[in-house]
Amino acid sequence: MSANFGNTQTGSQEVELNITSIVDCFTVLITFMLASASFLSIGFFEAATIGPEKENREAGKETPPPVEITVTLRNDFAVLVKVTGKASRERRLEAASGAWNHEALTEELASLKKTWPTVTSVALLSENGVTYKSVIEAMARIRKQLPHVLLGEL
């Protein structure tokens, strides 16, 4: 790397820029950055636990919801959707080919949302043997219809 300073005719100087040390610094910096960088794209699901504090907060709100929706995940991959309040209804969604029937759950929640558009929260319960992955997958489906999910215990 070199640079010309001044007019060639009047006399110029070629200056050699030594970038070896810059490259050394860059090498160290890049090594450090690569070692500490995280290439995972992580997002978050908001949820809350059902408890006395939450209930007190809910009690302070202007109008309670007309119905309360509870979704329960069973160990046999069945899903129980229960409605209590102004309407009472319980529907069991059987497993589809030994796995969770997410499509049926989505349809059921969509139908409930259509009937009760002011309801925005649902309680999600699970039996002890259900894995965390299944709970998250169910939450992802539920949140598309009802954004507030409360995690509770059976």
21 touching another protein, by CB under 8 A:
no
120 touching another protein, by CB under 8 A:
no
Task: Tell me the two tokens of residue 145.
Answer: 């219809």
Find the shortest distance in angstroms from Cβ 77 to another protein.
Answer: 14
Binding test (CB under 8 A) with another protein, winner from 3, 4, 53, 115: 53
Binding test (CB under 8 A) with another protein, winner from 45, 64, 107, 111: 45
DSSP SS3 for 138: helix
- Angstrom distance (rounded) from CA 17 to CA 14: 10
87 touching another protein, by CB under 8 A:
no
46 touching another protein, by CB under 8 A:
yes
Q: What count of other Cβ atoms lies within 10 Å of the Cβ of residue 54?
A: 13
Binding test (CB under 8 A) with another protein, winner from 9, 40, 97, 114: 40
Binding test (CB under 8 A) with another protein, winner from 36, 63, 88, 97: 36
Is the Cβ of residue 5 or residue 39 nearer to another protein in the bound state? 39
Sheet strand arrangement including 148-151: 89-93, 79-85, 67-73, 121-126, 148-151
5 touching another protein, by CB under 8 A:
no
DSSP codes, 93-115: E--BTTB--HHHHHHHHHHHHHH
Closest to 78 (Cα-Cα) out of 97, 65, 55, 60: 97
Q: How many degrees, rounded to 5, is the angle at CA 119 between CA 115 and CA 121? A: 135
Is the Cβ of residue 32 or residue 94 nearer to another protein in the bound state? 32
What is the sign of the dihedral through the CA atoms of 111, 117, 120 and 121? negative
Binding footprint of another protein on the chain (CB under 8 A): 1, 19-20, 22-23, 26-27, 29-30, 33-34, 36-38, 40-49, 51, 53-54, 73, 126-133, 135-137, 139-140, 143-144, 151, 153
